[in-house]
Amino acid sequence: RFEKGRIYTFIGEVVVSMNPYKNLNIYGRDMIEQYKGRELYERPPHLFAIADAAYKAMKRRSKDTCIVISGESGAGKTEASKYIMQYIAAITNPGQRAEVERVKNILLKSNCVLEAFGNAKTNRNDNSSRFGKYMDINFDFKGDPIGGHINNYLLEKSRVIVQQPGERSFHSFYQLLQGGSDQMLRSLHLQKDASAYSYICPGAQIKCSINDGAEFKAVADAMKVIGFKQEEIQTVYKIVATILHLGNLKFSVDGDTPVIENGKVVSIIADLLSTKSDMVEKALLFRTVATGRDVIDKQHTEQEATYGRDAFAKAIYERLFCWIVTHINDVIEVKNYDTTIHGKNTVIGVLDIYGFEIFDNNSFEQFCINYCNEKLQQLFIQLVLKQEQEEYQREGIPWKHIDYFNNQVIVDLVEQQHKGIIAILDDACMNVGKVTDEMFLEALNNKLGKHAHFSSRKLCATDKTLEFDRDFRIKHYAGDVIYSVTGFIDKNKDTLFQDFKRLMYNSSNPVLKMMWPEGKLSITEVTKRPLTAATLFKNSMIALVDNLASKEPYYVRCIKPNDKKSPQLFDEERCRHQVEYLGLLENVRVRRAGFAYRQTYEKFLHRYKMISEFTWPNHDLPSDKDAVKKLIECHGFQHDVAYGKTKIFIRTPRTLFTLEELHAKMLVRIVLFLQKVWRGTLARLRYKRTKAALTILKYYRRYKVKAYIHEVARRFHNVRLMKDYGKHVQWPTPPKVLRRFEEALQTIYHRWRAGELIRSVPPEVLPQLRAKVAAMEVLKGHRADIGLQRVWEGNYIALKPDNPQTTGSFIPVANELKRKDKYMNVLFSCHVRKVNRFNRVEDRAIFITDRHLYKMDPMKQYKVMRTIPLYNLIGLSVSNGKDQLVVFHTKDSKDLIVCLFSKEPSNDSRIGELVGVLASHFKRSKRALQVSVTNPVQCSLHGRKCTVSVETKINQSQPDFTKHRSGFILCVPGN
């Protein structure tokens, strides 16, 4: 299966996931659609199947569910949790509600931010989670995510100051140095070279598959989406920079006085923390101690100063991480949710927590991490192996017991009150006087010497793998781990001098101040001894396990195929060991012998009673158990079930899926039946009300119609005798039903009134009136001066005022053209100035009849220079100014460009008349004439495209054309 890329396997509701160490194309949108709404075994094993099963259980049965992801470090737990989140986000909120989309986006983006500040490269994994994460996603009754909450567990803060060989510190440090802009790094007093900073120097040269520069940008974008303000993001990176500078502080002793060699770094730290340099220096070199009423400043030794500095660096990074988690929780918290209004609020929990770890040097962190894994394995054993077998025996189901290793003994070894390792460690930390790690190991040897799962060199003198006074071994469920006690006492006490807390609380940066609330306590105030780190972690683990146990669990068990991160290598021995300690073989045996589903008779009947006539709507059999038997036999499932004392057990999932299908089908029929009955009742009530309303409406409408018609008749009485034929008469408001009738009536009235007005117009004026109407239709709103107020003469060349000298020579030419071309009417004539394709500007005349447009030369007795048949004319273009520019567009692209001018009066505008008479003529001939009003005017001279634009010049006496690179410019007088 691994070689073929089939990395998932099912054992009941447990998915076994192999880390493929390569990208597989099995998480796209099409794959999501294949698993959406399907039952668990309908499709091949996949993470999406278990996510969908948990979602369906939550939605169908209103049960809180959780998905527990476990496995070794580097087995793929974090990636699995991301794919589960991605699937839940993809299948929810079909209605695209904005608030739900916001919550989904923040839940997905939070992963990116938490990984930057909580993950690091280890020898086993380039993106190892160095903290535990449990995320609750809250859903409303429709199954849409409406909020959530993240719990974080035991950040490995010691990684800030020291890392094992071959490992890096948290990603955030390298991302800031590689991805931060030069300006940002200058403001933080940083340089790009990570090897310049002693805290992260060892990891500077180590190759990592994570692109720090690109991730920095992704994290910054994600923080903005989540809702971090710009000043908060700046504070985050100021804290990261502060830690890098803290690591470079060098302490020495001048006589008895401790001093800081590189004092400049102190002022940089003070600047970043928004506090004073002298206060920072005092906190690093002195410790304020209260003895009764007296307060004294106790000098540090060089060793104490270094310890205090390191503790401070670890503490501010941990506070920063917890603050980021709290900030995300504030944004995604479910607000104003009222179960009485919105229905039940259900939860899916996703647990992605550090895996079992065995390093060359295992310290306090590995001890806590491995204890956490013991607790989770114990939960798995309790729920999957122990409780299941006990339930069969309790219910009287025939059962052969399957043996398994119960790791409760190891959990007790660590957490038992007064006897466990954590209790012994706490006792050692509370002892008065100097307590060493070796004394703690001695206490372990004395109290746990006879425990089968604990050993040390003192107890087993011949075992040379263990060092005297340093090492102890615990036989974990996943293998033996040797722990070094060095640092256990310090890490458990987690001591941070109060001076640092007060320093941070007194910062002028409000974000920093908020992170350190306990800094406001005065020096002399007595505080309760805080719980140790191990006890806090133990309490949080017990609470987590109790929380998970209250939900319906689904498991993802992650397995590493090899330790070399190779996509080809399958280390059989390594995999067998993981399968063995994860209890997967026992899980398979229990599943094979056991039952996939169990439910109390009452709840089973409540869900499935509608699929049998014997149980729907209520049964009359002696007990619920008899009713369930009848229902099962009715569908022929009796060979696949067992009947317990209070529960029914179904062996195979297929039977359950069939029951679900029958339930879904019947549910539709029941809903339809209820809808039918209720709709029938509503319809009958509606019919009676409607019938009564219609009767009232009928009589009322009749009255309104009559009233309206009477009112119209009254207002328009004697309309023929009115001077304006009733134009001033206001129409009454019609009832709604007569609105279209009123429109038709008004149309008839307007046509009648127009006819009356036209009948009063003399016949010889009608053509001019039609032309003016045509000009208005085309030019109104596009051109101001149409010339509607004056009389349109048409044939201006034949008029003496316009053409006193040459009128006598034009009329014979016009008569000759009438005889030759047989035109009926003269439409328009006028003197013009024209320009041609050779850029020659000449005075000409245009003569337009009902058949042709003639261009004439007035200087040669109006000789015809060019004839354009009107059927060859396709359009006119004029400008939107007061000029007289006209372009006649022809089919053969030989456009005629002219500017009209009149001699008497000289400023007479004839454009409106020319456009009107041509548009009117073309309309009567039922031909189309395209008129466009633009500036500049587009035209075509023998196929060459050009433009004619109009410009006003003050000193210009008369219109004239000039050449321009894109065509021509018509210069017109400015006055």
Residues annotated as catalytic (active site), given as ranges: 73-74, 78, 125, 128-129, 355, 357
- 3-class secondary-structure state, position 66: strand
Rounded Cα distance between 470 and 457, Å, is: 9
Rounded Cα distance between 910 and 904, Å, is: 12
Q: Where are the beta strands (DSSP E) in 110-233?
A: 119-120, 128-129, 132-139, 145-153
DSSP states of 616-640: SS---SSSHHHHHHHHHHHTT-GGG
Rounded Cα distance between 782 and 933, Å, is: 7
User: Strand 471-476 and strand 454-456: pairing?
Assistant: antiparallel
- 3-class secondary-structure state, position 119: strand
Question: What residue type is assigned to position 530 of the chain?
Answer: P
Rounded Cα distance between 704 and 702, Å, is: 6
Q: Which residues of 515-541 are buried (b: 16+ CB within 10 A; e: fewer)?
A: bbeebeeeeeeeeeeeebbbbebbebb
Long-range contacts, 528-534 (Cβ 8 Å, 24+):
529/430, 532/425, 532/426, 532/429, 532/492, 532/493, 532/494, 533/154, 533/364, 533/368, 533/491, 533/492, 533/493, 533/494, 534/364, 534/368, 534/422, 534/425, 534/426, 534/492
Q: Which residue has the tokens 């470090």?
A: 73
Q: Which residue has the tokens 């009796």?
A: 638
Q: How many CB atoms lie within 10 A of CB 422?
A: 22
Are residues 920 and 912 in contact, defined by beta-carbon separation less than 8 angstroms?
no
Helix 533-549, helix 364-380: angle, nearest 10: 20
Q: Name, in order, each residue with C-beta under 8 angstroms of 957's C-beta and a sequence gap of 6 or more.
A: 973
Are residues 242 and 269 in contact, defined by beta-carbon separation less than 8 angstroms?
yes
User: Strand 454-456 and strand 873-878: pairing?
Assistant: unpaired
Under DSSP, the state recorded for 850 is S
What the block records as the tokens of 216 is: 């920095």
User: Strand 647-650 and strand 826-835: pairing?
Assistant: unpaired
Strand partners, 868: 853
Rounded Cα distance between 245 and 252, Å, is: 17
Under DSSP, the state recorded for 384 is I
Q: Name, in order, each residue with C-beta under 8 angstroms of 834's C-beta and a sequence gap of 6 or more.
A: 841, 842, 843, 844, 855, 896, 897, 898, 899
Rounded Cα distance between 365 and 370, Å, is: 9
Rounded Cα distance between 35 and 83, Å, is: 13
Rounded Cα distance between 495 and 309, Å, is: 12
Are residues 2 and 18 in contact, defined by beta-carbon separation less than 8 angstroms?
yes
Q: From the CA atom positions of the chain, what is the Rg in Å?
A: 47
Report CA torsion sign: 585, 589, 595, 599. Answer: negative
Q: Of 271, 123, 289, which Cα lies nearest the Cα of 189? A: 271
- 3-class secondary-structure state, position 338: coil
Q: How many CB atoms lie within 10 A of CB 156?
A: 24
Q: Name, in order, each residue with C-beta under 8 angstroms of 49's C-beta and a sequence gap of 6 or more.
A: 10, 15, 35, 38, 40, 43
